Structures are given as structure tokens and as C-alpha cells.
Amino acid sequence: MTHYETMPAHGYYKEKYRPHLHFTPEQMWMNDPNGLVYFEGEYHLFYQYHPYSTQWGPMHWGHAVSRDLVTWEHLPVALHPDEQGMIFSGSAVVDHEDTTGFFDGGKGLVAVYTSADGDLQRQSIAYSKDRGRTWAKYDGNPVLENPGIADFRDPKVFWHSSSSRWVMVLAAGKQVQLFTSENLKQWTFASSFGEGWGEQKGTWECPDLFPMINEKTGVEEWVLMIGIDAGGPCGGSGTQYFTGVFDGSAFFPDQQQDEVKWLDFGKDFYAAQSFSDLRDRRVIIAWMSNWQYANDVPTYPWRSAMTLPRELMLTKVSGKSVLKQMPVADSIQSMDNSAPGSGVQLLPGSPHIQSQPDAPFVWKITLELQADSHVEGTVFHTGEGGYRFGVEKGRAYVVRDECVPAFSDHYAAVCTADIAGSLDEVTLTVVCDFSSVEMFVNTGEIGMTNLYFPQTGLSHLMKLESIKGYAAVKDMVIDQRPSIWAENHS
């Protein structure tokens, strides 16, 4: 990979706003995670990548691998544009039984992606016999022609054991279409879902369909995740989901047609995808940006980051099936068992203020609240301003003020979400990196993910205060995290 001729003077992977807990490309543009798959001890992360600009352009598949979902190794670009067009989003699977005939009776990786030639979008495949290090495109591409739909892309493929065949869920305008195949090469239309369902303001993209066991009922249910490029919970991009039943051919939701379930209530959580072939758990990664301003965020020489990998849990809340999510344990587990601030009593006008450690860090807070309590926290505080978050009246919220200098009219945001059940005790896990804040309420009942570009060169403070009513800090840990890049890029 060729670097800029003039790299920042303060060093590779030490640039201003460079995340140190989150995956970023070495340089240039990145968007959707693609081809997430676990194979022979490695987690593969492919991603939409433009290697010649920090803005969206001719799409390739960038590539990285990890053995622990925390530290990542950059690998060469996996898929390049060809005569079929650019390489748009898609998925990767392990062909255990060599249904494709690519692996001489063994097993290997198959990527299923969209070939995009102008407005023509078709589905193609490629395969790897060497653990994803090199790829060969199938001579018979495309394997699924376009039936005349403008937005016909982002195939997510999985093996459906009950019917012993492959299933593809594909974004098709403001709905999804499902196809089946015996060999990943010939596909048969099975059904469609989504017309008039859920949030319809934006185009549907990057679907994912998978089973989960509900932790409350012990019953298997199916989850269908969908990215939408407009109409999200905090403006612009967002990720909604449906729960229901999949019979091998069609998806049947268990919710009302106009009900919208958001996977994350922040402004920068899009195109979430789950890892294929990962047994007994469902782990996702999302693109941490928003199409309202993704091309303009003030980072250099790269643009865009991924969220932390998150483990999904399916549960019941007020009789409805809902997803919870928390970062995988290794990325936020405590390195320091001390609890500074535990036992603090919060009253209006008497904030608890302390020095903020250098990013990245995790702030874990357990609050005991009264019915009328309103508690607010601030990170990257400089005496005024900062990134604010809080709980009040059955809701959680975050407030992101305009960036200085400003780069988008859409950046400033107030994001809110209702908290289910009693507010007597609330836990907040706030993960702060150099240019993002991810907050999780009550062990993942609510997630709020936002980019944040603080003022640099200043000493930052952390503040916790009661805006109204009495509250007590039952437990609090501030845990500074090591850089995931330090060993490789010191």
C-alpha cells in the first residue's frame, strides 16, 4: 500500500483524531463492512474501500484479519473493479461441503458481492483457497442478473441447514428479495419482504438475516437487519431490524407494519453486518459514519472507522422481541478494578468533576435514581462544551454540539431513546476514542454511537451532575485502554 508523500509529522497511526480502539484503514476512504466471516481461527473484515481518495469512489474490497476481534492486521486489497464494474458490498461464507466445486472436495471461502457498472447492479462471486489471502473471480459472473431494479445489491448469504441450501437476502429498493441456491452459482427467486414495512424514507441497503435464541423464552427467532440511507433515528443513515420467522423461503415478521425497531439510536451506526460461521454467538460490526457528511469528516490521511465489534442478544421487553448489544468483552474489560467516585451523592449545583485520561478510555457508571432525577455526564469537557449524555424521565440522550471548525450542517445532534422498565438503577458504559463516543445503557438495552471531534491540545475534564433531583453513584470505574495499534505501529 502506497502512503501519502507527506505523512503527518507526528507519525503513522498517531494522526489527529485517529481512533486507537476502532478499526480504520491505513489511509484513504472506507465505508460498509463486507464479507465478515470466521475461518480457521481468523476473523476476516472486508470493507468498501477507495484506495486513491479520501472520498467515495470506485469501490474495492479492503481486507484485514484478527484473532481476537480487538487487534487487526492489514492485508492487501482483496477484490478490485473489473469488466463487470465496481465491487460493491456483499458477504463471505465458508463452503464446507464444496458445493461450488472450487475446492477439490475440501473447503474454502466464497465472497458474494455486487458488481456495479453504472446503474446496472448484478451479483457475482469469487473464491479463495488460501485462507483469504488471494482471490479468483468466477468465470461465470454475474451469477444473478438484474431483473430491472435500480437498487439491487448487497447480498448476504448463509447456509440454511433445514433446507440444505444457500439463501441470499438482497436489498431491492425499499424492500428485500430472497433467493436460494444449491451451489452459489445458480439462484432461484424465493420471496420478497418489506414493501411498506418499517422505516421507508431511505433506500434499503446491507441486509442481514440470521437466527437467534431468545434469552427469555429459549425459542429460536429470526432477525432481519436493514440499513437505510435516510430517515434514521437521529437524522440521515440508520439501521433498523425486524424479528419473526423464516421458513427457508420467506420471512414473516412478528411486529406491526408501521413499527420501527432501531438497532442503535445514535447518528453514526450504519450497514451493520454479522460474522458468518461463528458458532454460538452473533457478533456484528457497523460503519461508524453517516451519509449526510461521511465524505467531509475532518480526518487525514484516512476517512471513516468501524464500530467496536458487538455481541448481540435477543430478549423480550414488554412482550416484544428486541435486540441488545454490548462490545465484545475483550475490548472493554476492566484493566483497573479501582472505582473512583463510587459513593458520590449528586445534587443540583454540586457536580462531580475530575481529570479525564487520554483516550481511549471506558467510563462505567451505575446510578441510583429517584423518579424525578435527571443526571447528565460530560466527556471532553474544557470548562464549557463537550460531549453530553444523560438519563431523565424514562429516556436516555446524548447531545453533540457543532464541531469547531464546522464541516457539516448535519453534524450537531440530539439523540434520544426510551428506557424500558424502572429507572431506580441505570448502568451506563461510555466508550471514548479520539473521535467517537459509544454509549450503552443497561448492558446494551440501548446503544448510541456518534463520531465526536473534540478540541485538541487542551486538558479535558469529566463531569457528572444532577440537573434535577437526587442521585447516587453506586459504582464507577474509569478505565484507560491501550492502543490496539501500539505494538504494530509504534
Report the C-alpha gap between 214 and 210 in whole angstroms. Answer: 13
Band of pLDDT at residue 2, cut at 50, 70 and 90:
very low
Final residue in a domain of this structure, among 327, 350, 367: 327
Band of pLDDT at residue 7, cut at 50, 70 and 90:
very low
- Residue 315's φ and ψ, nearest 5 degrees, are -145, 180
Count of domains observed in the chain: 2
Query: Could you tell me if 28 and 62 are in contact, meaning their C-beta atoms sit under 8 angstroms apart?
Result: no
Q: Determine the pLDDT at residue 68.
A: 96
Question: What pTM did the predictor assign?
Answer: 0.95
Judge whether 254 lies within some domain.
yes
CATH of the domain at 236: 2.115.10.20
Query: Could you tell me if 450 and 415 are in contact, meaning their C-beta atoms sit under 8 angstroms apart?
Result: yes
Question: Considering only CA atoms, which of 229, 226, 221 is closest in space to residue 198?
Answer: 226
Both 250 and 290 in a single domain? Answer: yes
- Residue 300, classed as helix, strand or coil, is coil
Band of pLDDT at residue 4, cut at 50, 70 and 90:
very low
Judge whether 12 lies within some domain.
no
Report the C-alpha gap between 55 and 208 in whole angstroms. Answer: 26
Band of pLDDT at residue 336, cut at 50, 70 and 90:
low
Judge whether 3 lies within some domain.
no
Which DSSP category does 386 fall into? -
- Write out pLDDT tens, residues 364-396: 999 999 989 999 999 999 888 899 999 998 999
Final residue in a domain of this structure, among 283, 304, 327: 327
Q: Determine the pLDDT at residue 332.
A: 75
Q: Determine the pLDDT at residue 8.
A: 46
- Give the pLDDT mean for 31-51: 98
Q: Determine the pLDDT at residue 390.
A: 97
Residue 334 confidence (pLDDT) above 70: no
- Give the pLDDT mean for 419-447: 94
pLDDT over 90, % of the chain: 88
- Give the pLDDT mean for 28-44: 98
Both 312 and 352 in a single domain? Answer: no
Final residue in a domain of this structure, among 327, 361, 379: 327
Judge whether 23 lies within some domain.
no
**Structural element, H or E, at residue 329:** helix 329-332
- 9-18, 25-34, 113-122, 224-233: least confidently modelled range: 9-18
Both 309 and 352 in a single domain? Answer: no
Both 268 and 338 in a single domain? Answer: no
Query: Could you tell me if 154 and 145 are in contact, meaning their C-beta atoms sit under 8 angstroms apart?
Result: no
Give bridge partners of residue 60 from the DSSP assignment.
Answer: 49
Both 317 and 356 in a single domain? Answer: no
Residue 405 confidence (pLDDT) above 70: yes
Judge whether 18 lies within some domain.
no
Report the C-alpha gap between 17 and 456 in whole angstroms. Answer: 9
Q: Determine the pLDDT at residue 9.
A: 42
CATH of the domain at 451: 2.60.120.560
- Write out pLDDT tens, residues 298-333: 999 999 999 999 999 999 998 999 999 999 987 777
Both 121 and 260 in a single domain? Answer: yes
Four-CA torsion 40, 43, 49, 52, nearest 10 degrees? -70
Both 308 and 360 in a single domain? Answer: no
Report the C-alpha gap between 412 and 271 in whole angstroms. Answer: 21
Band of pLDDT at residue 434, cut at 50, 70 and 90:
very high
Both 155 and 194 in a single domain? Answer: yes
- Write out pLDDT tens, residues 252-281: 999 999 999 999 999 999 999 999 999 889
- Give the pLDDT mean for 6-32: 85
Judge whether 6 lies within some domain.
no
Tell me which residue has cell 456518534: 450
Enumerate the active-site residues. Answer: 32
What residue numbers bound the domain in which 184 lies? 28-327
Q: Determine the pLDDT at residue 487.
A: 52
Tell me the average pLDDT of the chain.
93
Both 304 and 370 in a single domain? Answer: no
Both 302 and 391 in a single domain? Answer: no
Both 377 and 249 in a single domain? Answer: no
Report the C-alpha gap between 380 and 401 in whole angstroms. Answer: 12
Judge whether 34 lies within some domain.
yes
Q: Determine the pLDDT at residue 338.
A: 53
Judge whether 487 lies within some domain.
no
- Write out pLDDT tens, residues 64-82: 999 999 999 999 999 999 9
Q: What single-letter amino acid sits at 73? A: E
- Give the pLDDT mean for 93-97: 98
Both 137 and 214 in a single domain? Answer: yes
